[in-house]
């Protein structure tokens, strides 16, 4: 899979490649391969490229210096107008990316675009806007073969077999003095969860990373019983789960029905039943990921209608709304479920089914497989589904691309002029305080429209053996600077 195209996690690249900027612990973009950047004007962003950065000493780059040309090449490649380059839309406001000299990259925007830095720092989990030497793409036609990967990261590929694992070794050309500390990093792919957990227990694996190397709260409790030595880092997933109706279909086009469902769902119960409490209840933005940007803190959120306990008042109002909408005797909803993704989704729908039954709403769940699920999603041919949302660490990716009338990922077809105005304006607002305010307004507007039922964000645990040091995964960067890892034993 080509890192510049992949819509799926490619955790290996977190060790091999780097981007211009990365996220710090608080989610702010900080220098990585760029040492600084500034807006010459609201539409021109200029990066100064770090000096002395070299590619891995592997053919065809052979340890040569990385220049602005390579940066322009890599970022422009991600903008290739082909469907497989799925990240192009994050650069849709970019007009051109050029390298006027060896140390400067100039990005010209069509309109001011506030989230651009965050988009360069982000991918599905680690940034996939990695800088590669053009000769690799020329030689192999793409970056599809991880065996041929060349980047600027602290480790380089020694050997890798897809689906099995491989060995990464210290890159002799790495730019941070004295780093990385480890000589070798051995990566093993373990598809079966029970096997993976057994491997942690027996100390066969030193640490678990994304994708899927993290464990849930109940799995952690299980592991602690037999191996209390293992350490964990709490990690709030960059996604959240919810119940999403198709707004073009009856009865979801009626806001009263939507609100009734919104009120009738017991989020606390869903969190307990589904994740055994291993997570937190979310609004339109997951609170722990965007502390400064959310309209309600976790405590405030839990006092809102639909979220508050006990449910009596919400249930009564839900019944009233359904009666007003013309369903005094209840109604039947057609829903889909899939086994493909974390069981969390299907379970959420089953929980919703039992909760909605209390207000006279019957839910019929039809099981479909993964490809059908996605196809229905892109074509907008679905009824009601429980699903997860994952996005870059910028509220724009969470709100605009899902809820703006013209956005490609707005599969439920929400169209609201006021919301669109707020979402359009925040994109162009470079003043962070003003932008935060617009984002908060957008969340309030969303809450009024109740297009979906936001449920919860799972909190997982990244396990590591006690001898692993210097590895501090954060919400924003689950790979946490692999150059800093060392082993004490």
Partner 1 sequence: MRQYLVSRVLLLVPTLFIISVMVFAVVRLFPGDVLDFLTAEANVSREDVDKERERLGLMKPLHEQYLTWVGSMLRGDFGRSLWTKRPVATDIQRRLPVTVELGILSLFFSVVIGIPIGILSAVRQDSSMDYAARSVAIFGLSVPGFWLATMLILFLSVGFHWLPPLRYASPDVDPWQNIQQFIAPAFILGLHLAAVLMRMTRTALLEVLRQDYIRTAWAKGLRERVILARHAFRNSLIPVVTILGLQVALLIGGSVIMESIFNLPGLGQYIFQVILVRDYPAIQAVNLLLASFVMVANLLVDVSLAYIDPRILYR
Positions in the binding site for partner 1 (CB under 8 A): 1-2, 5, 7, 81-84, 86-90, 142, 144-145, 161-165, 186, 188-192, 194-195, 197-199, 201-205, 226, 340, 369-372, 374-375, 377-379, 390, 401, 407-409
Give min distance, CB of 324 to partner 1, in A. Answer: 36
Q: Which is nearer to partner 1, 188 or 309 (CB)?
A: 188
Give min distance, CB of 48 to partner 1, in A. Answer: 30
Cα distances from 175 to residues 52, 103, 459, 464, in angstroms, run 6, 16, 34, 27
Q: Which is nearer to partner 1, 192 or 488 (CB)?
A: 192
3-state helix, strand, coil in the chain (%, to 5): 30, 25, 45
With beta carbons less than 8 A apart as the criterion, state whether 122 and 23 touch. yes
* CB-based contacts of 260, cutoff 8 Å, min separation 6: 317, 318, 319, 321, 322, 325, 359, 361
Q: Write out the E strands in 354-393.
A: 361-368, 384-390
Q: Which is nearer to partner 1, 76 or 484 (CB)?
A: 76
Give min distance, CB of 165 to partner 1, in A. Answer: 5
Give min distance, CB of 407 to partner 1, in A. Answer: 7
Rounded CA-CA distance 163/202 in Å is 22
Q: Which is nearer to partner 1, 199 or 315 (CB)?
A: 199
Q: Which is nearer to partner 1, 143 or 359 (CB)?
A: 143
Residues making up the chain, counted from first to last? 489
Give min distance, CB of 2 to partner 1, in A. Answer: 7
HSE, side-chain direction, 13 A CA sphere, residue 43: 8
With beta carbons less than 8 A apart as the criterion, state whether 333 and 365 touch. no
Give min distance, CB of 60 to partner 1, in A. Answer: 19
Rounded CA-CA distance 479/471 in Å is 8
Give min distance, CB of 207 to partner 1, in A. Answer: 14
Q: Which is nearer to partner 1, 62 or 89 (CB)?
A: 89
Q: Which is nearer to partner 1, 150 or 263 (CB)?
A: 150
What does the radius of gyration of the chain's CA atoms come to, in whole angstroms?
23
Of residues 185, 248, 159, 176, the one with CA closest to residue 18 = 176
């Amino acid at each position: 899979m080509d890192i510049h195209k992949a819509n799926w996690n490619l955790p290996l690249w977190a060790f091999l490649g780097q981007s211009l900027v990365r996220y710090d612990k608080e989610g702010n973009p900080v220098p990585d391969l760029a040492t600084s950047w500034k807006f010459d004007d609201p539409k021109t962003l200029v990066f100064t490229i770090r000096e002395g950065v070299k590619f891995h000493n592997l053919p065809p780059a052979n340890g040569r210096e990385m220049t602005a040309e390579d940066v322009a090449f890599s970022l422009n490649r991600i903008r290739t107008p082909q469907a497989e380059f799925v990240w192009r839309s994050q650069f849709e406001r970019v007009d051109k990316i050029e390298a006027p000299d060896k140390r400067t990259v100039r990005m010209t925007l069509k309109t001011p675009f506030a989230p651009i830095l965050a988009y360069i720092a982000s991918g599905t989990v680690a940034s996939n806007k990695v800088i590669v030497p053009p000769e690799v793409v020329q030689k192999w036609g793409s970056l599809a073969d991880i065996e041929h990967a060349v980047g600027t990261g602290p480790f380089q590929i020694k050997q890798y077999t897809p689906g099995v694992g491989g060995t990464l070794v210290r890159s002799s050309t790495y730019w941070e003095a004295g780093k990385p500390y480890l000589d070798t990093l051995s990566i093993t792919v373990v598809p079966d969860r029970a096997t993976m957990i057994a491997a942690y227990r027996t100390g066969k694996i030193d640490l678990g990373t994304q994708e899927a190397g993290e464990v849930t709260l109940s799995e952690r409790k299980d592991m602690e019983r037999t191996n209390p030595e293992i350490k964990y880092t709490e990690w709030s997933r960059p996604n959240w789960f919810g119940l999403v109706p198709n707004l073009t279909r009856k009865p979801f086009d009626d806001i009263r029905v939507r609100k009734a469902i919104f009120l009738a769902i017991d989020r606390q119960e869903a969190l307990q039943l589904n994740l055994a409490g291993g997570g937190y209840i979310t609004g339109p933005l997951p609170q722990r990921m965007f502390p400064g940007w959310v309209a309600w803190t976790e405590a405030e959120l839990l006092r809102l209608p639909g979220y508050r306990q006990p449910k009596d008042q919400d249930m009564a109002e839900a019944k009233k709304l359904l009666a007003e909408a013309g369903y005094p005797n209840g109604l039947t909803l057609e829903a889909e479920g899939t086994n493909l993704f974390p069981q969390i989704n299907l379970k959420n729908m089953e929980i919703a089914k039992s909760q909605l039954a209390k207000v006279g709403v019957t839910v019929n769940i039809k099981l479909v497989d993964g490809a059908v699920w996605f196809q229905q999603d892109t074509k907008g041919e679905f009824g009601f589904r429980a699903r997860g949302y994952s996005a870059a660490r910028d509220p724009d990716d969470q709100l605009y691309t899902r809820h703006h009338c013209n956005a490609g990922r707005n599969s439920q077809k929400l169209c609201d002029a006021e919301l669109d105005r707020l979402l359009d304006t925040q994109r162009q607002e470079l003043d962070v305080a003003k932008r935060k305010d617009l984002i908060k307004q957008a969340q309030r507007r969303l809450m009024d429209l109740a297009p979906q039922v936001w449920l919860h964000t799972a909190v997982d645990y990244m396990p590591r053996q006690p001898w692993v040091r210097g590895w501090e995964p954060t919400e924003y960067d689950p790979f946490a600077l692999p150059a800093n890892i060392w082993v004490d034993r």
